[in-house]
Amino acid sequence: MDISLLSQTDSEIGVIGLGLMGSSIITSLLISGYHVKAIAPIRNEAESGKSRIKELLAICVQSGLIENEETYLSKLTISENYADLSNCLLALECVIEQIEIKKNVYHQIAQHIHPEAVIASNTSAIPISVLQEFAPNPARFMGIHWAEPAYSTRFLEITCGDKTDVAKAEVVYQAAHAWGKEPTLLRKDIRGFITNRLMYAVYREGLDLIESGEAKKEDADKAFKYDVGSWITYKGIFKRMGYEGLKNKAVIIQNLLPDLSQIVHVPKIMEEIVEQKGRGIYNQIGLYKYTADDCKVWEKEFADFIDDISRLAAKFPVNKRLE
């Protein structure tokens, strides 16, 4: 099996798990032209998963990413049978964030997948070096971390574990361009990968500001949306930092860093939502109050927004040339 064929959009990729991300990743691969073998690891998920994928493909039609759903649906097979993975160049595990459950899924994948195929996890936070110990061949195991909605965001983070063959990760990195992504490759396993390390530094400061009563969440959100939000897609962090010179920023770092939050506990405001089993738009329990109808509108608007912002960024080629 030649995994460099992953760059060819008519090859076969398996996705295990049909939850929020699994169905969104399947949609992304389908609209890129791939044949997808979806495995429903729990009973009766095949039907609900298929309905969700149909809904997502309909959103893709509405936003002009594809012309019709049928062509893409015909390339999808959903079953509870891991044997369907036998011709897949890549199996993407996208099940609940619990090590024991992921371990069991790798065991099932291992019984059917080609020995030279790649197995990857969409985990957000479990170290790849831990998960790869449960894979049939750790050298062919890596993290492939997507962002929601996976079919329209450009983000994709590929992470090697201690035993991953970096050359294999580079092949996947190349192929990810055919999935419509701007991938990053982390050659060494660090906790939280790149994106969660950055984002959780911001969450920590934001949550501490809210919990201490120094700012309201609405104001923190406004500040982030209308300041950072106005330039981040164009410049990223370091292009912005270097753009105006670093002299003043060095002074600010010296003065401000000692004042920033150092908390290492889960803030109370988060604990309360966790206790209420908050699942955001899925059960309308989150940091803001909203109705089921609001959620539907948000989901659609957000998908349109991501699509628009990707197109907007693509209009500025100097931005890309400097990467």
Tell me which residues touch ligand NAD (CB under 6 A): 17-22, 41-42, 45, 94-97, 101, 105, 122-124, 145-146, 148
Closer of 7 and 196 to ligand NAD (Cβ):
196
Q: How far is the CB of 21 from ligand NAD (least distance, A)?
A: 3
197-204, Cβ contacts within 8 angstroms, sequence gap of 24 or more = 198/237, 204/261, 204/263
Closer of 91 and 94 to ligand NAD (Cβ):
94
Of 150, 126, 153, 155, whose CA–CA distance to 142 is shortest?
Answer: 126
297 CB burial (10 A radius; 0-12, 13-18, 19+):
exposed
Q: How far is the CB of 206 from ligand NAD (least distance, A)?
A: 18
The token pair at 135 is 């894979």
123: region left, alpha or beta (phi > 0 left; psi from -120 to 50 alpha): beta
Q: How far is the CB of 153 from ligand NAD (least distance, A)?
A: 10
End-to-end CA distance of the chain: 33
> Among all residues, whose Cβ is closest to ligand NAD?
19
Q: How far apart are CA 312 and CA 298, in angstroms?
A: 20
Q: Write the secondary structure of 279-305 as one string of H (helix), E (strand) and C (coil).
A: CECCCCECCCCCCHHHHHHHHHHHHHH
Closer of 8 and 98 to ligand NAD (Cβ):
98
Evaluate the CA torsion angle 68, 70, 71, 73 in order and state its sign: positive
Q: How far is the CB of 127 from ligand NAD (least distance, A)?
A: 13
Task: Determine phi and psi for 50, rounding to 5 degrees.
Answer: -65, -40
> Which residues sit opposite 156 in a β-bridge?
146, 183
Closer of 41 and 138 to ligand NAD (Cβ):
41
Q: How far is the CB of 96 from ligand NAD (least distance, A)?
A: 4
Closer of 44 and 262 to ligand NAD (Cβ):
44
Closer of 124 and 261 to ligand NAD (Cβ):
124
Q: How far apart are CA 235 and CA 244, in angstroms?
A: 12
Closer of 83 and 253 to ligand NAD (Cβ):
83
Q: How far is the CB of 102 from ligand NAD (least distance, A)?
A: 7
Q: How far is the CB of 47 from ligand NAD (least distance, A)?
A: 12
